[in-house]
Amino acid sequence: MVDRAAQSKSHDICRICRSTNLHEYLDLGRTPLANSYLRAEDLQVPEFKEELKLQVCTDCGLSQLTKVVNPDLMFRNYLYVSSTPKTFRDHCVELAKTSVAMAGCRKGEWVLDIASNDGCLLSKFRDLEMSVVGVDPAENLAAEANQSGIPTLCDYWSTTAAESVLRRFGRPRIITATNVLGHTDDLHEFVRAVDHCLDPAGIFVLECPYVLDFIEKNEFDTAYHEHLSYLAIHPLRMLMEEHGFAVCNVQYFHEIHGGTIRVFVGRSGRHPVDSNVALYLKKEEAFGIQTIEPYEAFRGRVEGTKEKLLSLLGRLQAGGKAMWAYGASAKGNTLTNYFGITKDLIPVVIDDNPKKWGWYTPGSHMRITGIDELVSSRVDYLLLLAWNFQTEIKHRCRMIKYPGDFIVPVPEAKIIR
């Protein structure tokens, strides 16, 4: 059993503006790590759990967790593979083309991807005849990427890793960081490392879920221990300006992870600043990003969602309906553990990632299998835990002639016939 006290620490200062004016607004209880999947022989062993609670800085608007878990527990062996959903693969194609055009790259110039996972995004840059290199701490994924021809350093991003990139590959013209800035405890060190190796005329492209969607669309289940920070343009601009960078442009993608912002960053004065940056800042001010009220209202909606979904599932179970889930995702594990949903209610969860088949979900202990097993099983309802890919999931289910219905838990529980 892991010593909880030795594997996590409290965080009571804003990691961007360093303020102590933090307001706690959502307590999801003590939950296991969202990607800590179990083998059958581990089901009787007590799981590591930690407080999952959010707080907002009323000085800059950054939301962050109250606890920081040792990253080695979460990232050294990682089963999430970014190339699994076709939706995200297509998104990577567009991201690569847009970034190369915006940076004015010539063929052969270097692109660095931070937290490069299995190399999905870098492979799209390679298709555009760019030179590529990745950095990722997951030993299993870094090995896979190297075997597929994507040079990948197995390490956490830092000024030390940036120096290794410089020494071995030179200065990248583009640095990308998709869904990793929010995973990072020391955001200032992260940006210092970007500054250390980025080409003077280069661009830094980051993507992260948008905190306004998180709040307004009731996306509480995208909170888990890996996601230390929940970001918006206002705090991001403060962070970048402290290190000599400017936010130059913002794009928005509603279909990616429940609402994602793409932020283009360059050295101050080197790139024009698009007018939409000011529009996002104005939108966040109208939302009240540095006030308490929208976050307190969010807490009330989350509690209502929990009550409604558990009531719905209870009625279906009492009526003898067979229920499985789709998407053994981190967000699904947050939802099931906070709501108290276990294998006694939903015994099986389908996932499209073969790496997860035969494993069990943390806390809820649902068995993970592939969609082929659904063909030969009588299932009346599928709870879409990976609701952010519901269009793709419903298409896959139609292809195998699944006759049942779907339950979407977010932003509110409802049945889709």
Classify residue 272 by burial, with Cβ atoms within 10 Å: 0-12, 13-18, 19+: exposed
Instruction: Determine the pLDDT at residue 185.
Output: 97
pTM reported for the whole predicted model: 0.92
Instruction: Determine the pLDDT at residue 77.
Output: 75
In a domain, 372, yes or no: yes
In a domain, 52, yes or no: no
Could you give the percent of the chain with pLDDT greater than 90? 92
In a domain, 27, yes or no: no
pLDDT at 5 over 70: no
What is the full DSSP assignment across 136-167? ES-HHHHHHHHHTT--EEES--SHHHHHHHHH
pLDDT at 138 over 80: yes
Q: How far apart are CA 111 and CA 108, in angstroms?
A: 9
The predicted model gives 111-127 an average pLDDT of: 96
Assess whether 276 and 410 both reside in one domain. no
Assess whether 167 and 308 both reside in one domain. no
In a domain, 48, yes or no: no
CB contact at 8 A, 232 and 210: yes
Instruction: Determine the pLDDT at residue 81.
Output: 67
Quickly count: other Cβ atoms within 10 Å of residue 270's Cβ.
13
Q: Cis bond leading into 411, ω under 30°?
A: yes
The alpha carbon of residue 64 and the mean position of all alpha carbons in its chain are separated, in whole angstroms, by 14
Assess whether 230 and 375 both reside in one domain. no
Assess whether 309 and 226 both reside in one domain. no
Query: How many separate domains does the chain show?
Result: 2
Assess whether 260 and 341 both reside in one domain. no
Instruction: Determine the pLDDT at residue 24.
Output: 98
What is the chain's mean pLDDT, rounded? 95
pLDDT at 201 over 90: yes
The predicted model gives 11-22 an average pLDDT of: 98
CB contact at 8 A, 326 and 384: yes
Could you give the percent of the chain with pLDDT greater than 70? 97
Assess whether 200 and 326 both reside in one domain. no
Assess whether 374 and 276 both reside in one domain. no
Query: Which of 256, 290, 324 represents a domain boundary (last residue)?
Result: 290
In a domain, 361, yes or no: yes
Name which of 251-260, 274-283, 354-363, 369-378 the model is least confident about.
251-260
pLDDT at 1 over 80: no
Query: Which of 236, 264, 290 represents a domain boundary (last residue)?
Result: 290
In CATH, what number is assigned to the domain containing residue 153?
A: 3.40.50.150
The predicted model gives 44-56 an average pLDDT of: 97
pLDDT at 3 over 60: no
Query: Which of 290, 305, 324 represents a domain boundary (last residue)?
Result: 290
Assess whether 191 and 141 both reside in one domain. yes
In a domain, 22, yes or no: no
In CATH, what number is assigned to the domain containing residue 309?
A: 3.40.50.720
Instruction: Determine the pLDDT at residue 78.
Output: 67
In tens, the pLDDT along 212-268 reads 999 999 999 999 999 999 999 999 999 999 999 999 999 999 988 889 999 999 999
In tens, the pLDDT along 19-43 reads 999 999 999 999 999 999 999 999 9
Assess whether 253 and 217 both reside in one domain. yes
Classify residue 228 by burial, with Cβ atoms within 10 Å: 0-12, 13-18, 19+: buried
Range of the domain at 169: 86-290
The predicted model gives 77-91 an average pLDDT of: 77
The predicted model gives 99-107 an average pLDDT of: 96
Instruction: Determine the pLDDT at residue 232.
Output: 98
In a domain, 66, yes or no: no
Assess whether 363 and 335 both reside in one domain. yes
The predicted model gives 107-129 an average pLDDT of: 96
The predicted model gives 100-125 an average pLDDT of: 96
Assess whether 165 and 262 both reside in one domain. yes
pLDDT at 410 over 50: yes
pLDDT at 335 over 50: yes
Instruction: Determine the pLDDT at residue 76.
Output: 77
In a domain, 348, yes or no: yes
Assess whether 137 and 278 both reside in one domain. yes
